[in-house]
Structure 1
Amino acid sequence: MIRPALALAVLCIVSGGSSKPTERKTRVQEDPPLSQLQHDDDTNFEYDHEAFLGQDDAKAFEQLAPEESKRRLSIIVDKMDGDGDGWVSEAEITAWIRRAQKKHVSDSVERQWADFDLDQDGRVTWAEYRNVTYGSYLDDPADSEYNYTQMMTRDERRFRAADADRDLIADKQEFAAFLHPEDHEHMRDIVVQETMEDIDKNGDGFIDLQEYIGDMFQPEDGEEEPEWVATERQQFAEFRDKNGDGKMDKEETLDWILPSDYDHAEAESKHLLFESDTDKDGKLSKQEILDKYDLFVGSQVTDFGEALLRHDEF
């Protein structure tokens, strides 16, 4: 069975005003920084739930009745209040969200580590990864409906970039860089290269406006262009194409997908504080958070898994 675990996610776009770049989620990996979901509080708070709780725990909270959600949220508030002063600051919310981010990445690495460390020697070789991911294709390429050679070549290139000592054997830290390159400074070049390969359809080494929009929106027959596309055209001209030559080079692409001046956790904590701070004192009481429990954790019964029914924590 082919397991293309590293297929890039489609860029999720959130429309915004023309005064600043549109908030967006990284194209890198299937696991974006906070959530793959669109951040649109007018529709639902699902993005906020995943940002605040982490993706697995957010799904579990969706099963809970409102009173149980509030009870568990109350426990979380006590944990967030790091200095024990009875208030939750923006910095404490940010720290909590970063904790959820790190836990999601760590859990992802642990799950996949068990799949790929076939001989259980505490290392994952390129051969192990290749055989697990592309085993059936390697056994009989002629029997496959798709030629996975290019994907395998890309994976090997990323594996080599993550492999600090160049021995084609990954320890857990190197494997984490391979799976989540957006979190590692030394992987930025490979992130940009993969992104440009995906979007640069004419192969000129740049991303022009047509390619930029085409990566996000490809209309069906007769489909009208949504309003956010026009916003993105403006974003491209005002913020993406910094030198005004009508296309994005590698540096401009890096600034787009991994901006150094934008922190997802800080932005989300500011949003949660703004929406919940009813007395506008710049900090949140437990009651203010519980009053907005639907924003922080929600409660909509679904058929998702039972990931968070962990009574040792709650």
Structure 2
Amino acid sequence: MVGQEKRKRDGETTVLRHAQFVRMIRALLLLCFGLCVVCGSSKPTEKKSRVHEEEPLSRLQHDDKKNYDYDHEAFLGQDQAKAFEHLPPEESKRRLGSIIVNKMDRNKDGFISEEELKDWIKSAQKKHVYDSVEHQWKDFDVNGDGLISWEEYRNVTYGSYLEGPQTDTEYNYDQMMSRDERRFRVADTNGDLMADKHEFSAFLHPEDHQHMKDIVVQETMEDIDKNGDGFIDLKEYIGDMYTSDGEEEEPEWVASERQQFSEFRDKNNDGKMDKEETLDWILPSDYDHAEAEAKHLMHEADANQDGKLTKSEILNKYETFVGSQVTDFGEALLRHDEF
């Protein structure tokens, strides 16, 4: 009985994560998988946003006159940048040249193009996404065949509900299961209802995958479009972020959001947002941080200005790409030989 109750609770929290846009409840629960979200039941006084803006490549100040710490975190990711700080110059250069550069050179032509450099930076920044997929993989790949079928995902996530459907729950599990299946099918690019790790990543983190953008917009509009007309009007837009109880004065940010809706969200000034306008709102694409950093690193290291980098050019400017501080070579190798 205890095991059944635990499985039921685990299933409910997992559902809430994967149906991340569902606003059936005021707040989400803390996932048992370690994915943190906020829970609460009071009227929000601070702005709650659906916008999936790109996280900065680093929280550090980008000032190469002082140091290259920003570039290190952008190029390696925060965790690996810290690891490289403890390496001596010899080992730092060795790993940069023999491991990283070789991995960046996808077409094996002996050069690193700006596009390859940008893709490497994006990959380093998305490591937390890969880690979350790895962390959850074993829970859903029940038969251990290296794939997660829709049936496996459904049974693990909704197992307790499928065994004994309940009508007195505050969650509409049939609707949530239907939305999950629809998203799973979109993520499943080859249509076999079996997700490999790339497809499962698209399912868990649809906002990070180009072919999933339509489903992100669709789910968002379904959540906010209360009158079902296929658009998001101003009342629905504000109501998704703020609900007045008539007793407290409206926060200033609400008035600001009304202005944002009129001046920027509703681009054709028809009083509502369609799918394209909703896409521009929740998945803005104004600035590509990885592309900007790739151009910067290319400018710093491309000695002959031919628009591509050789391994020698990168190693000659290794301090721009990776950090290095310690001098105890042997100790550093023992601590960080896992890279």
Say whether the fold is shared (TM-score over 0.5). yes
Name which of 180, 191, 198 aligns with 1:166.
Answer: 191
Q: Distance in 1 between matches of 2:195 and 2:284?
A: 28
The equivalent residue for 1:137 is 161
Q: Which has the larger radius of gyration?
A: 2
The equivalent residue for 1:115 is 139
Superposed, which structure 2 residues align to 1:1-314 within 5 Å?
A: 1-2=10-11, 3-4=14-15, 5-8=17-20, 26-27=51-52, 34-35=54-55, 58=78, 97-142=121-166, 145-149=169-173, 150-218=175-243, 221-222=248-249, 224-226=251-253, 230=256, 232-266=257-291, 312-313=338-339
**Change in 2 beyond 3 A, CA 1:94/1:234:** farther
Q: Distance in 1 between matches of 2:226 and 2:336?
A: 47
Give the secondary-structure state (helix, strand or coil) at the position aligned to 2:153: helix
**Change in 2 beyond 3 A, CA 1:207/1:134:** same
Q: TM-score, normalised by structure 1?
A: 0.59
- Residue 41 of structure 1 deviates from its aligned partner by 9.1
- Residue 193 of structure 1 deviates from its aligned partner by 0.4
CA deviations 1:146-188 (Å, max 9, x no partner) are 3342111110111112223333222333222222222333322
**Change in 2 beyond 3 A, CA 1:174/1:96:** closer
- Residue 6 of structure 1 deviates from its aligned partner by 1.1
CA deviations 1:222-251 (Å, max 9, x no partner) are 46333x851x33332232211110111011
- Residue 118 of structure 1 deviates from its aligned partner by 0.3
List alignment gaps of at least 5 residues for structure 2: 1-9, 22-27, 29-48, 62-70, 106-113, 297-318, 324-334
Q: How many residues align?
A: 269
Contact between 2:19 and 2:180, CA under 8 Å: does it hold in 1?
Answer: no
Contact between 1:213 and 1:229, CA under 8 Å: does it hold in 2?
Answer: no
Give the secondary-structure state (helix, strand or coil) at the position aligned to 1:166: coil
Q: Which amino acid aligns with 2:215?
A: I
TM-align CA RMSD = 5.3
Q: TM-score, normalised by structure 2?
A: 0.55
Q: Percent identical across equivalent pairs?
A: 59
Runs of 4+ in structure 1 over 6 Å off: 39-42, 48-53, 59-62, 73-80, 90-93, 267-271
Contact between 1:219 and 1:225, CA under 8 Å: does it hold in 2?
Answer: no
